[in-house]
Amino acid sequence: MHCYDCHSLEGTATPVLATCVHCGAGLCAAHANATPHSVHRVTGTGTALQPTAARRILCTTCHKAQSHQLS
Ligand SMILES: [Zn+2]
Ligand SMILES: [Zn+2]
């Protein structure tokens, strides 16, 4: 399997390292956006250690769409 974003954006075939949880597209390291499942924006000294935050891998498109929704 090859990275969907590399293929659609650049026409190149890059081996897949992860999969977008939202749309299921295969992603290379450059296009995989790993985000914590529960987003707590920590400002300041950053002393708040989160217990285990689940990880979500999103493609660039889904990552943009989600951050757009949240803001
Ligand atoms: Zn890629
Ligand atoms: Zn996606």
What pLDDT was estimated at residue 1?
A: 93
Write down the pTM of the prediction: 0.71
CA of 41 to the centre of ligand 1 (A): 27
User: pLDDT (tens digit, 9 = 90+) per residue, 5-53?
Assistant: 999 999 999 999 999 999 999 999 999 999 876 655 666 666 566 667 7
CA of 51 to the centre of ligand 1 (A): 31
CA of 44 to the centre of ligand 2 (A): 31
CA of 33 to the centre of ligand 1 (A): 11
Given phi > 0 = left and psi -120 to 50 = alpha, else beta, which region is 40?
Answer: beta
Percent of the chain with pLDDT over 90: 61
CA of 58 to the centre of ligand 1 (A): 12
User: pLDDT (tens digit, 9 = 90+) per residue, 43-68?
Assistant: 666 656 666 778 899 999 999 998 77
* Cα–Cα distance for residue pair 52/33, rounded to 1 Å: 18
CA of 6 to the centre of ligand 2 (A): 13
